[in-house]
Amino acid sequence: MSYSTVIEGASFSPSSQTEISYQARQLICLDNNGYIARVIAHTDPDYATVKQTAQANDTLTTLQPNQYVLPGFIDLHIHAPQWPNAGLALDRPLNEWLDTYTFPLEAKYQDTDFAKLVYDGLIQELLANGTTTALYFGTIHNAANLELAKACIQYGQRGFIGKVAMDNPEQTPDYYQDASAQVAVDQTEQFIHQLNELNQTTDLKQTPVITPRFVPSCTPASLQGLGDLARKYDLPVQSHCSESDWENGYALEHYHMRDADVLDHYGLLTDKAVMAHGTLLNDHDYDLFSQKQVAIAHCPISNVYFGNAVLPVNRVLAHHIKTGLGTDISGGYSPSLYQNIRQAVMSSRMLQDGVDNQLLPDKRGVDGSAISVKTAFYLATLGGAESLHLQTGKIAEGYLADLQVVSMQNDFQTETTDNIFEKLMYQTSKADINQVYVQGTRVK
């Protein structure tokens, strides 16, 4: 059998939440539908035959000794229109940051030329950083959201895209809001149809996502209408949940319920829902998320600035809650999930050790909080894939061929498998990502 692409080389892939698998030499065989058809170990009897056939067909890519294949990364939470603001005003409180910097920028996307300029650059930047799938917040403007989808199609990224709904006049500026709950719901439904129509022109499908910005930005009527749409079209849902003391407190003050309970009341917590941050979730919320099979998008860099706490990843996983990793541009300053892998580990260590040196060691931290870089890698790959119900995130037969090939530059001595993996996780930059494949097509 011949394959569309055969990659010969070493690979790392998640095998569980805490372990990785390593293959020193193998053939990763991609079929014409963008899936991994076979993974052939060097010891398999037909290794040489398959390799020779691929060479003859000019479909073989042989990696260098310092190159490794990894699954493509999945960004579970990113605000596409905020890319121009990445790294700006991160020292401001969340509500002030939104009102002064974020909403004025997002309002500019009524200009589709501006939207195309930003989104073309963003998608290429994310792919260059190894991100093959992203779950996007757009803006309230459907024309701009379609430009985001077109950029994903043009450059070859799998996008999950939401028309942001925000109709609460008390928490949104008059120059940037849905005119009413009905408008928010109708425009969301219109975007669903527009994106489905656009998908008729491409094999790389983009997915519409029901997107209430967060509880403070929406009225009860829009939350209810969006919940009805999620059920009607069986679509993913995304929002923010218990991201900060302010957001958490808003739900308690205005609804006399926790943030998660408000979203659940309106039918927005489903097995296709991804809730960002969750730094202030409690055991009641964890149980609700587990019961409803809701996923959490962990955004460790952003949470340093706006989360008011550290997400206890081990505790979340122990509740059997699907969990992935997000950049949260521009609350997070970096488009790199490698940077967020590192921060996820660092934040977990700070949670474990504590940060107040006036407390005794046994009172300072939260025992059992530290995660390994292998767990953070799982979040960026298989954890994100499971959150989006995607058959990707690992290198195995039957999985979508979303892959990245990275080089390890600091290769001065014989290394153990774990040492190589850790160096890749901690040292890889955009310049070290040599190839990127999405659904079997090379896009970088």
CB of 435 closer than 8 Å to CB of 444: yes
Distance between CA atoms of 160 and 76, rounded to whole angstroms?
Answer: 9
Predicted local distance difference test score (pLDDT) of residue 414: 65
Helix/strand/coil for 237: strand
Contacts (Cβ under 8 Å, ≥6 apart) of 363: 354
Q: Which amino acid is at 122?
A: L
Which CATH class, in words, describes the domain spanning 5-70+393-442?
Answer: mainly beta
Q: What angle do CA 22, 72, 429 make, to 5 degrees?
A: 90
Predicted local distance difference test score (pLDDT) of residue 260: 97
* Length of the chain (residues): 444
Pick from 298, 410, 387: which is nearest to 343 by CA?
298
Predicted local distance difference test score (pLDDT) of residue 412: 67
Distance between CA atoms of 97 and 109, rounded to whole angstroms?
Answer: 18
Distance between CA atoms of 51 and 62, rounded to whole angstroms?
Answer: 10
Predicted local distance difference test score (pLDDT) of residue 2: 79
Contacts (Cβ under 8 Å, ≥6 apart) of 371: 313, 314, 344, 345, 348
Contacts (Cβ under 8 Å, ≥6 apart) of 380: 73, 74, 324, 325, 337, 340, 341
Predicted local distance difference test score (pLDDT) of residue 347: 98
Delimiting residues of CATH 3.20.20.140 domain(s) in the chain: 73-387
CB atoms within 10 A of CB 315: 16
CB of 6 closer than 8 Å to CB of 51: yes
Delimiting residues of CATH 2.30.40.10 domain(s) in the chain: 5-70+393-442
Q: What is the pLDDT along the chain (444 residues), one digit of tens a residue?
A: 779 999 999 999 999 999 999 999 999 999 999 999 999 999 999 999 999 999 999 999 999 999 999 999 999 999 999 999 999 999 998 888 989 999 999 999 999 999 999 999 999 999 999 999 999 999 999 999 999 999 999 999 999 999 999 999 999 999 999 999 999 999 999 999 999 999 999 999 999 999 999 999 999 999 999 999 999 999 999 999 999 888 889 999 999 999 999 999 999 999 999 999 999 999 999 999 999 999 999 999 999 999 999 999 999 999 999 999 999 999 999 999 999 999 999 999 999 999 999 999 999 999 999 999 999 999 999 999 999 999 999 999 999 999 999 999 876 676 899 999 999 999 999 999 999 999 999 999
The architecture CATH gives domain 73-387: Alpha-Beta Barrel (3.20)
Q: Is the peptide bond before 15 cis (omega within 30 degrees of 0)?
A: no
Predicted local distance difference test score (pLDDT) of residue 72: 98
